Amino acid sequence: MFLYLRSKALKPEAKRQSDAIESKVVAWRRDFHQHPELSNREFRTAEKVAAHLKSLGMEVRTGVAHTGVVGILRGGKPGPVVGLRADMDALPVVERGDLPFKSTATSTYNGAEVGVMHACGHDAHVAVMMGVAEVLSGMQDRLAGTVVFIFQPAEEGPPEGEQGGAELMMKEGVLYNPKIEALFGMHINSQTEVGKIKYRAGGMMAASDWFFITVHGKQSHGSQPWNGIDPIVVSSQIIQGLQTIVSRQVDLTEQPAVVTVGKIESGVRANIIPEKAEMVGTIRTLDTAMQRQIHERLIRTATMIAESAGARAEVRIENKTPVTYNDPALTARSLPSLREAAGEENVIEQKPRTGAEDFGFFAQKVPALYFYLGGMPKGKNPDEAAAHHTPDFYIDESGLTLGVRAFCYLVLDYLEGK
């Protein structure tokens, strides 16, 4: 009963402080938005985050997984260790809006000059988490446990030839010093109305695998295709075959799945049948058994179709990110905290999403909860809101305070054993 009363007493204070620093959180978000940085290049962002955490008296570690920052807030009383994660990187996208803090930044991405934009909302994630750090540090002596703030680089994927993101942070031991018992993360969502939170127990977001298929044929003159083996025609047949994996070979009543070919390259001239064709695509699954099935069927489909035409197909599959899995017990335990923060009617269970998040690496090792925070203006049609990773991506900043409050409530309740 004493623990419950202590948590109950701290949450009104957390709400007041969350409301009081709203303008600071918005200012931080706008600053990061105007100065976006690509994966593994978040130098300015990391510097500002580290300076803020140090100003709050935290133990701060920098250079984690290249540019990551970890802040440790040790409460005045013993208790559990809770982790909070925010990702920091932007995307190679040119911003098209007319915001006064619009990004005009440019950088180099895989050897090409590109515009840079926070087209996924990670600027908001960093700002919200800085706000949470400020609120909770103000009640440090009354916290019964430890809070680890994880500011992660390269969620969107490191540049070619580099390691990064959650996977590298894991390799460097971010979950174990101190050992985190439960981890919380969130993503702002441009198609969820401000003031609302969406969640799902179990598979929240999909595993993302990339596949690479090289079809080896036989080169010939374009006027005499019978003298060669056309890898372009074979590739088109493989693409059609891959579509039947999801539509005809796996049980979609269990979980959704996607197989997409996003790139195909072959040939140099109109009248030359080339020697090979290469295609690249993605597989999205929410269940490991289905993931294995699709991998096996994709390899079989590509190789057999190629063989039937006298060609040869080489298939390689890379596991990029695992399923973002919300621990059912932790989800059930956390729902009262989210409902208290947002209002019961504003916490909504959602269907699984086929987008991917490298938060899933953390969720493989520690009970975790990942949720969506509304960032769409009230009354707007979600079908008309610009999607993530697009030049017109937009979020309503009035939803950021709820993010601060929700994280604070999750931490306070968990530390007090609720």
Across the strands, what pairs with 102? none
Ranges in the chain annotated CATH 3.30.70.360? 208-321
**pLDDT above 60: residue 4:** no
Q: Tell me if residue 89 is catalytic.
A: yes
Q: Please name the amino acid found at residue 137.
A: S
The predicted model gives 206-211 an average pLDDT of 97
Residue 227: band (very low, low, confident or very high) from pLDDT cuts 50, 70, 90: very high
Alpha-carbon distance of 343 to 355, in angstroms, equals 27
Alpha-carbon distance of 93 to 116, in angstroms, equals 5
Q: Where are the beta strands (DSSP E) in 100-163?
A: 106-109, 112-115, 144-152
The predicted model gives 397-407 an average pLDDT of 98
Q: Is 335 helix (H, G, I), strand (E, B) or coil?
A: helix
Q: Output the pLDDT for position 7.
A: 58
Alpha-carbon distance of 224 to 246, in angstroms, equals 36
Task: Of 215, 218, 211, 210, give the one whose Cα is nearest residue 277.
Answer: 215
Residue 252: band (very low, low, confident or very high) from pLDDT cuts 50, 70, 90: confident
Alpha-carbon distance of 73 to 59, in angstroms, equals 7
pTM for the structure as a whole: 0.93
pLDDT tens, position by position, 258-308: 999 999 999 999 999 999 999 999 999 999 899 999 999 999 999 999 999
Ranges in the chain annotated CATH 3.40.630.10? 2-206+323-415
Q: What CATH architecture applies to the domain 2-206+323-415?
A: 3-Layer(aba) Sandwich (3.40)
Q: Which of 89, 134, 396, 397 is catalytic?
A: 89
Q: Output the pLDDT for position 6.
A: 58
Q: Judge contact between 59 and 146, C-beta under 8 A.
A: no
**pLDDT above 70: residue 5:** no
Please state, in angstroms and as integers, the Cα–Cα distance from residue 342 to each residue in 196, 334, 417, following that order: 7, 13, 21
Output DSSP code: residue 382.
G
Alpha-carbon distance of 325 to 206, in angstroms, equals 9
**pLDDT above 70: residue 364:** yes
208-321 carries CATH number 3.30.70.360: yes
The percentage of residues in the chain with a pLDDT greater than 90, rounded to a whole number, is: 95
Q: Judge contact between 305 and 313, C-beta under 8 A.
A: yes
**pLDDT above 50: residue 172:** yes
Q: Output the pLDDT for position 418.
A: 75
The predicted model gives 371-394 an average pLDDT of 97
Q: Judge contact between 193 and 264, C-beta under 8 A.
A: no
Q: Which of 37, 134, 155, 327 is catalytic?
A: 155
pLDDT tens, position by position, 320-362: 999 999 999 999 999 999 999 999 999 999 999 999 999 999 9
Task: Of 272, 281, 280, 264, give the one whose Cα is nearest residue 230.
Answer: 272
Contacts with 113 (C-beta within 8 Å, 6 or more apart), sequence order: 106, 107
**pLDDT above 80: residue 375:** yes
Alpha-carbon distance of 127 to 351, in angstroms, equals 27
Q: Output the pLDDT for position 1.
A: 43
Q: Tell me if residue 318 is catalytic.
A: no
The predicted model gives 363-377 an average pLDDT of 98
Task: Of 407, 398, 417, give the one whose Cα is nearest residue 337.
Answer: 407
pLDDT tens, position by position, 59-114: 999 999 999 999 999 999 999 999 999 999 999 999 998 999 999 999 999 899 99
Residue 370: band (very low, low, confident or very high) from pLDDT cuts 50, 70, 90: very high
Q: Is the dihedral of CA 70, 407, 51, 38 positive or negative?
A: positive
Q: Output the pLDDT for position 120.
A: 98
Q: Output the pLDDT for position 3.
A: 46
Q: Judge contact between 86 and 128, C-beta under 8 A.
A: yes
| Residue 184, burial from CB neighbour count under 10 angstroms (0-12, 13-18, 19+) | buried
